[in-house]
Amino acid sequence: MKQKRLEKISDTVSRGASRSSALARLNGFWEVFSKDDNVLVVINADPDALASAMAVKRLLRYRVQNVTIGYPNEIRRLNNLEMVKRLKIPIERLHTLKISDYSKKVLLDSQPPHLPCFEKVSFDAIIDHHPVTVQWDARFIDIRPDYGAVSSMMVEYLRAANIKPSVALATALFYGIKVDTQNFEKNALPADGSSFRYLFSLANLNLVRKLELTDLRRSELKYFKIALNELKVRKGKAFVHVGRVWSPDILVILADFLNHVDQFSWVIVSGIHGERLVVIFRCDGYRKNAGAFAQKTFGKYGVAGGHKQAARAEVPVKNLELPENQEVTTQTLIRLATRHEK
């Protein structure tokens, strides 16, 4: 059954990718909706997802009754909070919304298996750039794993619709592409560059710079000290466990920071958030695949995966089968991440 679903989804993705033009994709997306629809756009809020949700809201402005953007995660990263505030993005926490009030649901920059709350929703349209997962379906599917950002895809939709984005929307999309491609240091297609270039003269570049600089709280500086003290290197792999964190976002910041250090072929940073171990993976993506490595090392314990250069795992601590009363340490992280090595 799982294989049949995977084949069906792969076929749908292939059909979407082989259509002759962005206009065909746009029309396929528009066909999902009618004038009487109340639409819920669901995202796991980050810059690329927020920008893409703004774009979908613009694309459906005159085609449906209304569009609501819902998100399940608490937004804690300062630059994400600043983006929502400065661009006045209308978003609402998903748990405050009654899903049955919406006749159509759209999932952006994600797929149903990525979060338990997504799996409970029957989506009519899904647009994403992550590798394809299994056991779900939707009327309209546009998944392009080779793209660096969903924001790049949304620029194509807007241009196909002959919609010139406002300064706010252009700024959001521009920033979304910058963040998800890590300023094109990650793998991206010429299409990402084309969308980025199109937005360059439309976006507020000074605001983008402001968003980029609003990144770190003073209270989070302590984690850098912990990380530097805990840092251990094994065969070119840098390992750090920083203990409990109030937000997993600091783990991403630490991993990106350490990824700039010479002679580190891999960076693996972890912390405990709630009852879950969150692990962030970074590598150059040249002859390595962070997503595959994350799945291989932590997939048996929980959710794990990502792209060639960047990946993430989130697993319940109880699933790690640690000896009683033993806490996770950097040594624990090393053991879990290298247990497949000969």
pLDDT tens per residue across span 155-181: 999 999 999 999 999 999 999 999 999
Judge whether 148 and 191 are in contact, CB under 8 Å: no
Give yes or no: residues 119 and 236 share one domain.
no
Residue type, 162: N
Judge whether 158 and 30 are in contact, CB under 8 Å: no
pLDDT digits (tens, 9 = 90+) for 249-262: 899 999 999 999 99
pLDDT at 306: 86
95 pLDDT higher than 70: yes
Give yes or no: residues 88 and 187 share one domain.
yes
pLDDT digits (tens, 9 = 90+) for 188-199: 899 999 999 999
4 pLDDT higher than 70: no
pLDDT at 172: 98
CA–CA gap between residue 86 and residue 69 (Å, rounded): 17
Q: What is the CATH classification number for the domain harbouring 75? A: 3.90.1640.10
132 pLDDT higher than 50: yes
For residue 111 the two structure tokens come to 């797929």
11 pLDDT higher than 50: no
124 pLDDT higher than 80: yes
CA angle 107, 199, 165 (to 5 degrees): 60
Catalogue the E-assigned strands of the chain: 38-42, 66-71, 91-93, 104-108, 125-128, 140-143, 232-234, 237-244, 266-273, 276-283, 303-306, 310-316
Judge whether 71 and 93 are in contact, CB under 8 Å: yes
Give yes or no: residues 99 and 207 share one domain.
yes
Q: Could you tell me the pLDDT band of residue 34, with boundaries at 50, 70 and 90?
A: very high
Give yes or no: residues 64 and 194 share one domain.
yes
| DSSP of 23-56 | HHHHHHHHTT--TT-EEEEE---SHHHHHHHHHH
Looking at 149, 181, 213, the residue that finishes a domain is 213
Which of the residue ranges 238-242, 286-290, 314-318 would you say has the lowest mean pLDDT? 286-290
15 pLDDT higher than 70: no
The dihedral through the CA atoms of 40, 194, 188, 139 has a sign that is positive
If DSSP codes are grouped into helix, strand and coil, which group holds residue 108?
A: strand
Give yes or no: residues 77 and 169 share one domain.
yes
CB neighbours of 260 closer than 8 A, spacing ≥ 6? none
Judge whether 23 and 160 are in contact, CB under 8 Å: yes
Looking at 213, 245, 280, the residue that finishes a domain is 213
State percent of the chain over pLDDT 90.
75
Q: What is the CATH classification number for the domain harbouring 334? A: 3.10.310.40
186 pLDDT higher than 80: no
Give yes or no: residues 182 and 223 share one domain.
no
The dihedral through the CA atoms of 314, 12, 143, 337 has a sign that is positive
Give yes or no: residues 181 and 67 share one domain.
yes
Give yes or no: residues 224 and 194 share one domain.
no
Give yes or no: residues 63 and 86 share one domain.
yes
Q: How far is CA 7 from the centre of its chain?
A: 24
Give yes or no: residues 10 and 105 share one domain.
yes
With CA atoms as reference, report the closest residue to 228 among 251, 256, 253, 258: 258
Q: Could you tell me the pLDDT band of residue 14, with boundaries at 50, 70 and 90?
A: very low
pLDDT digits (tens, 9 = 90+) for 219-245: 899 999 999 999 999 999 999 999 999
pLDDT at 325: 76
Give yes or no: residues 192 and 249 share one domain.
no
Number of domains in the chain: 2
Average pLDDT over residues 292-311: 91
Looking at 213, 235, 253, the residue that finishes a domain is 213
The dihedral through the CA atoms of 8, 14, 17, 21 has a sign that is negative
CA–CA gap between residue 325 and residue 319 (Å, rounded): 14
CA atoms within 13 Å, Cβ hemisphere of 88: 3
- Residue-averaged pLDDT of the chain: 90
Q: Could you tell me the pLDDT band of residue 342, with boundaries at 50, 70 and 90?
A: low
pLDDT digits (tens, 9 = 90+) for 54-79: 999 999 999 999 999 999 988 988 89
Q: Could you tell me the pLDDT band of residue 10, with boundaries at 50, 70 and 90?
A: very low
Average pLDDT over residues 200-207: 97
Output phi, psi for 191, to 5 deg: -65, -35
Domain range for 87 is 2-213
Give yes or no: residues 162 and 14 share one domain.
yes
Average pLDDT over residues 300-316: 90
